Amino acid sequence: MSAIFNFQSLISVILLLICTCAYIRAFAPKVIDRNKEGLLGVFWKCARIGERLSPWVAASCFCMAFVKGGRVNENHYEINRQQPAKPFTGPNHFFITRKTNVESQYSDVYIHGMGASINSVLVFVVELEKLFAGALISDVQTSTIHVTDNLFPMSDEFEAGDRSRPLSAVHVHLYRAMFCKTVYSRIRNLSINSFRRFTRPRLAIVGSGPAGMFTCNALLRRTNFAVDVFENYHVPFGLVRYGVAPDHQEVKNCINLFDNMFDSNKDRLRLFCNVNIGKDVTFEELTNNYNSVLLAYGSYKTRSLAIPGEKSLNVLSGSEFVGWYNGVPNVANPSLDGDSAVIIGNGNVALDCARIISMGADGSLKSSDIPDDRLAHLQESKIRNIKVLGRRGPGDVSFTIKELREQFKLAEWSSAVDMSREDEETLRSELPKFERKKKRLTELLLKFAGKPNGPRQCHFLFNRVPQEVLSDSCGRVKAIKVFNKYTNETETVPCSLLIYSIGYQTLILDGVPQNAKGMIDMKDECRVNIQGPTPVYATGWCAHGPRGVIVDTQQQSAFVAEQIAKDFENFNGKTAVGADVLLKQRHVRSISWDRWKFIDNEEKLKGQKSGKIREKFTTFDSFVN
């Protein structure tokens, strides 16, 4: 054991001697010179070893200085890695990243690298040593910086949170004055330039919802793409802003990730809201002005009931009702003055509609981001009876357990599932065969099987096929006829509000190929089957149709980004010009990222005054003008 300690001590003494000699030679080169003989000659060799080893010693220090933090299962969370605070600032301090261009006229400069950039710093210094014939004098130090990352759950079994992460850093001090003394007296400036110029491929993303933004975020991490994002709405984030229910603010936390993405990549990421692709700029013009195009605008065309009377007053699609309570501009208030509502559909949108109607009067939405005027309208609702009708059986529902459980937990409402004895026995017998997710959902349905009771009721009914919407003399819905597959009879269900959510259709842009099912014709999981020099990709509901939730979209986006990165791995063409010139020529009044952040801050300030997360604008004329 003592021999080991003696060996470690010997190594420490040798390293101390090397560092001391290198330090003395840096400030007093005449004391330690290669022409000296004897002991001073040995000192010179030690100094040269120290100068050569300094970057690599720093690298080993970086490895030893790493402090193991809390580990997070990345299959459970989307990790929003925050940028660390820069510990040093000043005109002669440079932090090496993928896009650093260093040029200095100062007497000395500091080169810093954090995390993955440490290796780039060390390679950078070694290249400079070669450039200056081995006479470069540098002082290398290391440090550890702690960063707090945001964690977004990938399923409803995990909670949002954060984790502390240690990040190692290296700091290299380069002495210009010593260059002049030891190399050439004619040197007056230190000029350090990046090794090569990048030619960036420019990508157009159509849609700023979660599918497009998660793909964009993953792509910017992997490649040097320049990206332009186009959004039809006046503001970004699509489904996250206008589709997620106001009582699900934790789902909207991914906006923080997107904010950080835009703020960290302003030199290569642009936003163009209030731009209609197909009208303001055609799809063909996108392919002509970009190196690549990504379609990520979802499936926002609602499937119709296709039955007589569906155009009656107060008959809305689920997306229309969701858009209304989420603050979509120019949407009229639905009439909530009757006592009954029927919602057709067995998916999460139907559940959201039922839950928001139920929560309207209990005050639990006051601190959310639902606009004040629309919350006031919900609070005046007279609806006391909600029926959720499914066209198929209870074993075919598309609910997620989290949303269904929320409906059953609502105070002052009695919610129950009406299923036949045959359905109940079948589900109980097949329960052991189901996968875990479906098993838990089925157990919840069986737990609440029965009839609701109380002054406020939500009733889940199955095997009811809509046949006709009945209206009163004013043209407003008063009931819906449905075919009961249990009894093979027609029933008339009274309602003063009818909402249907039976799926979506993909909107196909002119020029985008379409398959026999009316969806985008895909070559594989992410590539559109289209001929031409510009590759076109699709992600989210654009690619595979309207299925899955934000978590599913998030997981697919990482795969799509990886495929795009592989396709452009050896890109050496010219960076495409983009469509901003076309927008200016056509006087399209687009809203940029900076303009959106102004709107964002105004909404938050308005919300703070009334104790809300934000107060959404429902008109944007002043911002566009």
Give domain status of residue 42, yes or no: no
Which among 367, 350, 384 is positioned nearest to 495, based on CA atoms?
Answer: 384
* Spatial contact of 462 and 392, defined as CB atoms under 8 Å apart: yes
Tell me, yes or no, whether 349 and 475 share the same domain.
yes
Rounded to whole angstroms, the Cα distance separating 368 from 371 reads: 9
Which secondary-structure segment (H or E) carries 352? helix 348-359
Rounded to whole angstroms, the Cα distance separating 495 from 102 reads: 69
CATH number of the domain to which 109 belongs: 3.30.110.20
CATH number of the domain to which 388 belongs: 3.50.50.60
Give domain status of residue 434, yes or no: yes
* Spatial contact of 92 and 110, defined as CB atoms under 8 Å apart: yes
Tell me, yes or no, whether 328 and 451 share the same domain.
yes
pLDDT at 168: 78
Strands 477-484 and 464-471 turn out to be antiparallel
Cα→Cα distances 224→89, 96, 97, 380, Å: 26, 15, 12, 53
Strand partners, 493: 480
pLDDT at 354: 97
Tell me, yes or no, whether 434 and 353 share the same domain.
yes
Q: Domain limits at 232?
A: 208-300+514-624
Give domain status of residue 46, yes or no: no
Low-confidence ranges of the chain (pLDDT < 50): 1-5, 27, 55-70, 75, 98-107, 176-198
Strand partners, 344: 389, 500
pLDDT at 99: 47
What tokens does 212 get?
A: 């497009």
Give domain status of residue 432, yes or no: yes
Q: What angle do CA 554, 246, 543 make, to 5 degrees?
A: 30
Rounded to whole angstroms, the Cα distance separating 454 from 358 reads: 14
Q: Is the dihedral of CA 65, 68, 69, 72 positive or negative?
A: positive
Rounded to whole angstroms, the Cα distance separating 271 from 258 reads: 12
Tell me, yes or no, whether 321 and 289 share the same domain.
no
Give domain status of residue 509, yes or no: no
Tell me, yes or no, whether 277 and 399 share the same domain.
no
Strand partners, 594: none
CATH number of the domain to which 540 belongs: 3.40.50.720
Give domain status of residue 191, yes or no: no
Q: Which of 167, 182, 197 is the last residue of a domain?
A: 182
Question: Over the stretch 416-425, which tens digit does the pLDDT of each residue have?
Answer: 999 999 999 9
Tell me, yes or no, whether 347 and 324 share the same domain.
yes
Rounded to whole angstroms, the Cα distance separating 612 from 625 reads: 27
Give domain status of residue 6, yes or no: no
Number of domains making up the chain: 3
Return the CA Rg of the chain.
32
pLDDT at 57: 43
Look at residue 286 and give its three-state secondary structure: helix
Q: Which residue type does 493 have?
A: V
Residue 249: exposure state from Cβ atoms within 10 A (0-12, 13-18, ≥19): middle
Tell me, yes or no, whether 256 and 314 share the same domain.
no
Tell me, yes or no, whether 377 and 471 share the same domain.
yes
* Spatial contact of 337 and 580, defined as CB atoms under 8 Å apart: no
- Which residue is it, tokens 């299959």? 75
Give domain status of residue 37, yes or no: no
Q: Which of 447, 470, 502 is the last residue of a domain?
A: 502
Tell me, yes or no, whether 248 and 394 share the same domain.
no
- Which residue is it, tokens 């450039």? 131
Tell me, yes or no, whether 334 and 470 share the same domain.
yes
Tell me, yes or no, whether 146 and 162 share the same domain.
yes
pLDDT at 299: 78
Strand partners, 79: 151
**Torsion of Cα atoms, 345 then 349 then 350 then 353, to 10°:** -150
Tell me, yes or no, whether 376 and 418 share the same domain.
yes
pLDDT at 449: 93
